[in-house]
Structure 1
């Protein structure tokens, strides 16, 4: 009888110990503050999106989300930082994934292989870069701008500030038969004074910056780089319908180091999708002329890999010489 009682007590102790140890091993995610990485400067169009999602995801995650701006090499610095971070779901790259894909070809020797170093946890939107001029410029349409730039020859100039604007600018130049000189800027905000003072003839801003400047009455948007009109801004013509064949789309996503455990990837996908599905976020995205996009991690990763290949084609067609 004593031996049976001893065996029962031993079993109870083991069961209790297991109940304590089990949860301790599987701590809830996240167990501490999360860091959102932005590859561009505070106040930039990219920063606006990153901070919006940080604010909306904070209550779902139950921890503070700290936004860090890792600026340099048109986003490459941030890409490398995230790829080399601990794969614990606490470092999340909220960025234009199209820019990450483009950088794999704009630079001769990228510091990381993005297709294998990063995992897309969720998509956010689809958008495009835009062709813009100052609001008081004499050109009302892209063909009018093209005609004027042809007359200026290599005295014409345009501004770019990220990989996708660089490609769109080169494609427009090639398709329109221009000799315009590219002037690269560190951020989109940096070229505004030069554009509005007339030192730069036109610019290829992202949708966020372009729409904000247009609503403020400072910029006129002449066209978008996507192959079809954006649902969020159907009044804006595409470059293709104006005679400049191209389909340069941008898209935003959340990415983590590739070795991040699948349960964390799946949980992040659920949270991001919840935020994208809200009316508030859909209005936010519409206001920056972008269309919401929800997908699974597997769908998003497959698209990311395909985009890396596609951007190689864009860079070659645009005749961009890889840097460094």
Structure 2
């Protein structure tokens, strides 16, 4: 009996003297929920799955994608910011959610900067203008001419706040009076464009390319200063003599505010490593994504700067919060 008591006492003393890291399980010790605020198949969903898969392969960690679409991303984002800050719930942060949401919504249940932990930048999206083949628009100029001839006769698709501001900015730049039609997902909107229920769309390249290649929609212009590797025959906006739109359609990995430092450090290091791998970069190309290079800025500083730029763009485009 004395031997057992001595062993138990020694075990207790060893536990008390052990460093905290030895007492706690290393992160991650259970699956990580990855909230995507848009539908399966959307640009954000595709990005999240590439990053989750690449990080899982490198670490063995288990990411569970949770698609929570609706209200231009605010439903899923509300769930994200209200989650425990233990590192086991992360999500997409983006231009739509963090740079533009304040400009299109009066009553967000969260602050787009202070209620987040900005973990790691991921990618920049390219957007493309498409129209239904049945409408006969073979170029952006043809679309502009039709809009000038019959003001308010054309309508366009948007499925997130980024596309909403880009579409309104483009319409103002091209002096077009057109009608916006919001959708829960770009895929749903493009399906209606293909059936000529809506005149044209402004959607991300990754979601749009399959529809273009199948002939269901006609790509008119890439909203960029250069052509997309995925749509090499489609002219960039600047090639058509139009001014570039000076904002970044960005996306990154984030979590609720005040996340545990050890989980942030692990996620940042492992996601950064996974994002830089050749296989991941090849998948980015196929999805029309570019790695997001901050040029020496911290991620929070980049987010704050983009908030200012997108707020100005939304104001100049005449968008009012509703």
On whether the aligned pair clears a TM of 0.5, the verdict is yes
Deviation at 1:53, TM superposition (A): 2.1
Bigger shift: 208-217 or 108-117?
208-217
The verdict on how the C-alpha distance between 1:288 and 1:62 changes in structure 2, with shifts beyond 3 A counting, is closer
Residues 55, 276 of structure 1: alpha-carbon distance in 2 compared, 3 angstrom cutoff: same
**In the alignment, what sits opposite 1:288?**
287
Do 2:97 and 2:112's aligned partners in 1 also have CA atoms closer than 8 Å? Answer: no
User: CA separation of 1:70/1:196 partners in 2, compared to 1, >3 Å: closer, same or farther?
Assistant: same
SS in 1 for 2:151: helix
Tell me, which stretches of 5 or more residues in structure 2 are unaligned?
Answer: 1-6
Aligned counterparts of 2:121 and 2:20: Cα–Cα separation in 1? 33
Decide whether the 8 Å contact of 1:224 with 1:238 is kept in 2.
yes
Partners of 1:309 and 1:295 in 2: CA distance: 16
Secondary structure at the residue paired with 2:212?
Answer: helix
TM-aligned CA deviation for residue 114 of structure 1: 1.7
**How far has the Cα of 1:250 moved from its partner?**
0.9
The reply to whether residue 315 of structure 1 matches residue 319 of structure 2 is: no
Query: What TM-score do the two structures reach when normalised by structure 1?
Result: 0.87
Contact kept? 1:70, 1:78, Cα under 8 Å: yes
Q: How many angstroms apart in 2 are the aligned matches of 1:305 and 1:124?
A: 16
CA contact (8 A) 1:121 1:300 kept: yes
Task: Report what 2:28 is aligned to.
Answer: 30
After superposition, the CA RMSD in angstroms is: 2.7
Report the equivalent of 2:259: 260
Partners in 1 of 2:116 and 2:248 — Cα distance?
Answer: 20
TM-score with structure 2 setting the length: 0.88
Superposed displacement of residue 144, structure 1? 2.1
**Higher mean C-alpha deviation, range 136-145 or range 248-257:** 136-145
1:177 equivalent among 175, 198, 205: 175
- In 2 relative to 1, CA 315–141 (structure 1 residues): closer, same or farther, beyond 3 Å? same
Provide, for residues 76-108 of structure 1, a one-character-per-residue CA deviation record: whole Å limited to 9, x for no partner.
111221111111111011353444321122111
Other-structure match for 1:229: 226
Query: What is the deviation of 1:152?
Result: 2.3
C-alpha separation between the residues in 2 aligned to 1:66 and 1:114? 24
